[in-house]
Amino acid sequence: MSDALNFHFDVDGENFTSAGHASVKVKKILRELGLDPETIRKVSIAMYEGEINMVIHAGGGEADVSVDDKGVTIVLKDSGPGIADIEKAMEEGFSTAQENIRSLGFGAGMGLPNMKRYSDEMNIESEVGKGTTITMKVYF
Amino acid sequence: MTPGVTRVKVSELIEKAGFGAVTLPDAEREIKGAYAGDLLSWVMGRAKADDAWITIMSNINVVAVASLADVACVVLAEDVELDAEIKKTALEKGINIISSGKPIYETALEIGRYL
């Protein structure tokens, strides 16, 4: 793989039950590319958590995934409310999700921590009222 | 086989433990461990690939989490039922789902006998 392979997805913010659609597609693509199962698992979980966050908090957004000879890069971009205190948001157990989200099994305050856990590098750019862009890299 | 790790196939677990089959697209898959929990992000953070995941959650996101976390099967405790639409999605995504009539704790004990 000398050239990077790029994939773009729109994440629908209206339909919570279809959240994870992009991550499941990416998982399938990475399998077809023959990547090792642990890399696929890390990318899938990190991206799914990000996708869920975009649906819960930001009304959807866009996901771009690229694969090159070094690893997988995931860029999640939304125009949501932004994260006021990133350090706080990174704490396990801290959540601003509503009760209806919690009843579905989400909103445990583990999303961002899991994204960090499963990516080798993670960068968050966020501005309150403007939106959030998260870049995650998983190396081979 | 890694020393100290016992593996049991999903189909064998059903037979030995008297569990029910809900969806079995990959019945020969081996289970290497188990994890119990209902908070989906918690499960994704803690469960390992090839675990049997015991839960009472029954919404569609369970199928996505099982697929992305790459667990060997979902074990629905307390005979929790799934909608037909969710079963269909699980079959499409190759997710094994089995059911136990017992609560989570007893279900975990039962699975522990075979791991």
pLDDT tens column, B65-85: 999 999 999 999 999 999 999
Q: Is the pLDDT of residue B5 over 80?
A: no
Residues of A with CB under 8 A from a CB of B: 17, 19-20, 23-24, 27, 37-38, 40-41, 44-45, 48-49, 52, 104-106, 108-111, 113-114, 117
What is the distance between the alpha carbons of residues A35 and A70, in angstroms, rounded to a whole number? 12
Q: Where are the beta strands (DSSP E) in chain B?
A: 8-9, 20-23, 30-31, 33-36, 51-55, 73-76, 97-99
Supply the CATH number for residue A31's domain: 3.30.565.10
Q: How many CB atoms lie within 10 A of CB A1?
A: 9
Q: Is the pLDDT of residue B6 over 90?
A: no
Please enumerate in sequence order all residues whose Cβ is within 8 A of that of A100, keeping only pairs 6 or more positions apart, or say none: none
Q: Do B45 and A110 touch (CB under 8 A)?
A: yes
CB-CB neighbors (< 8 A) of A37 in chain B: 49, 70
Please compute the mean of the pLDDT values over residues A107-115 and round it to a whole number: 93
pLDDT tens column, A96-108: 998 888 888 898 9
Residue A104 is which amino acid?
Answer: L
Q: How many domains does chain A have?
A: 1
Residue span of the structural domain in which A115 resides? 5-139
Tokens linked to A82: 């932004």
Domains and CATH numbers, chain B: 8-112 (3.40.1390.20)
